[in-house]
Amino acid sequence: MKNKITKEHSHKYLVFKKLCSNKLLLIFGILTIVIVIAGILAPVVSPYSPYDMQTSLRLKAPSAAHWFGTDTYGRDVLTRILYGIRMSLVVGILTAVISTVIGIILGLLAGYFNFLDTIIMRISEAMSTIPVFLMAITLMTILGISTKNVIISMSIVYIPLVVTVTRGVALQVREQTYIEAIRSIGAKWPRILFRHMMPNVLSPVIVQATYIFASSMLVEAALSFLSCGIPLPAPSLGNILSEARTVIFSSWWLVTFPGICLIIVILGINILGDALRDLMDPLSN
C-alpha cells in the first residue's frame, strides 16, 4: 500500500473540481472568457468603427450585418459593446491595481507603527462613512469628467478597503516570532515591512482586489450612465446604456445586449474572486 498524496487530493484540484461541479457557473465562466477575449481583440474582431455614424442606419433592429442592431446615431452596437468592454476592463484593472498598491503600503505602515495606526485608520474610517458610489461621484465633480479622473477617483474610494484588510493581517503578523527575530538581527523597517510582512498579506488582499475589480466596473458603469464617467463619444458599457435609456420603449436591443454583457463580465470576475478565495484559504470550504 502506497500512501502517496496524488494529484487528485491536492487542494488546487479540489477547488477546480468544485468549480466545475457547478455547471451554471462553469457556463458563465466560459462565456466571460469569450466576451473578455472579444473585448481585448475588439479592433481585430469587429468590422465596423465604434465612432462611425450612419444616419441612414439609425435604430435598426438586429440583422445579419449588425448582429446587435444599431444605435441612435446609426453606429454598430456590437462594435461599441466590444470597445466598451475593453474600456471597462482597463478602468477596472487599473483601479484595482492602484488602490491595492497604495492600500497595502498604508495598511502595512498602520499595522506596524502604532503612531501611524491611529491617523491612518481614523481617516480611512471617516472615508468609509461615505457610500462608495456617492464618494466616487463627488470626486468626479471636483476633479472634472475624464477617463483618467474616473480611475483616480475610484482608486481613492477603494483604498480604505485595502488598508483595513492589510492592517488586520499586519497586526497579527507583527507579533510572530520570526518578525521579532528579523528585527533582532537589525533589519530596518522597510525590509521587515515589504520583504517579510507583505507576502503574508498578499493572499487576502488579492481576493479583495478581484472584488474591487468587479465592483469598480459596476461603479464605472453607473457613473458613465449618469454622464459623470467615461466622456462620450468613447464607448463604455455605462454610457451606451445611458444613451439607450431614452429609447428603451422602442429599441429593446440597445438596453438588452450591453446590459447582459455587463452582467456576464462582472459575474465572471466574481466567480474568479470566489475561486481565488477558495484556493488561497482552505478553511473557507
Pattern 176-215, another protein, x by CB under 8 A: --------------------------------------x-
d(CA 194, CA 146): 34
Which of the residues 97 through 126 are near another protein (CB under 8 A)? Answer: 122-123, 125-126
Rounded least distance, CB 257 to another protein, Å: 12
Toward another protein, which CB reaches closer, 125 or 180?
A: 125
The residues near 70 (Cβ < 8 Å, ≥ 6 apart) are: 54, 57, 58, 59, 60, 76, 77
From 37-45, 91-99, 169-177, 267-275, give the range in contact with another protein by CB under 8 A: 267-275
- Per CB under 8 A, 165 contacts another protein: no
Pattern 25-44, another protein, x by CB under 8 A: x-------------------
Toward another protein, which CB reaches closer, 70 or 242?
A: 242
Rounded least distance, CB 16 to another protein, Å: 16
- Per CB under 8 A, 281 contacts another protein: no
Pattern 130-159, another protein, x by CB under 8 A: xxxxxx-xxxxxxx----------------
The torsion angles phi and psi of 174, rounded to 5 degrees, stand at: -55, -35
The residues near 37 (Cβ < 8 Å, ≥ 6 apart) are: none
Q: Are 70 and 59 in contact (CB under 8 A)?
A: yes
Which of 40, 267, 272, 280 binds another protein (CB under 8 A)? It is 267
List the one residue out of 211, 3, 229, 14 whose CA is nearest residue 103: 211
Rounded least distance, CB 282 to another protein, Å: 15
From 6-14, 22-30, 56-64, 201-209, give the range in contact with another protein by CB under 8 A: 22-30
Distances (CA, A) of 274 to 22, 160, 184, 214: 13, 21, 39, 12
Helix 198-225 with 147-174: angle, nearest 10 deg: 150
From 86-94, 105-113, 171-179, 221-229, give the range in contact with another protein by CB under 8 A: 221-229
List the one residue out of 40, 37, 30, 29 whose CA is nearest residue 267: 29
- Per CB under 8 A, 248 contacts another protein: yes
The residues near 92 (Cβ < 8 Å, ≥ 6 apart) are: 213, 214, 216, 217, 220, 269
Question: How many chain residues interact with another protein (CB under 8 A)?
Answer: 43
Toward another protein, which CB reaches closer, 195 or 245?
A: 245
Helix 77-112 with 114-127: angle, nearest 10 deg: 150
- Per CB under 8 A, 226 contacts another protein: yes
- Sign of the torsion angle spanned by Cα atoms 250, 254, 260, 263: negative
DSSP lists the bridge partners of residue 234 as: none
What residue type is assigned to position 31 of the chain?
Answer: L
Rounded least distance, CB 255 to another protein, Å: 6
Query: Which residue ranges make up the site for another protein (CB under 8 A)?
Result: 22, 24-25, 122-123, 125-127, 129-135, 137-143, 214, 218, 221-222, 225-226, 228, 241, 245, 248-249, 252, 255, 259, 262-263, 266-267, 270-271, 274
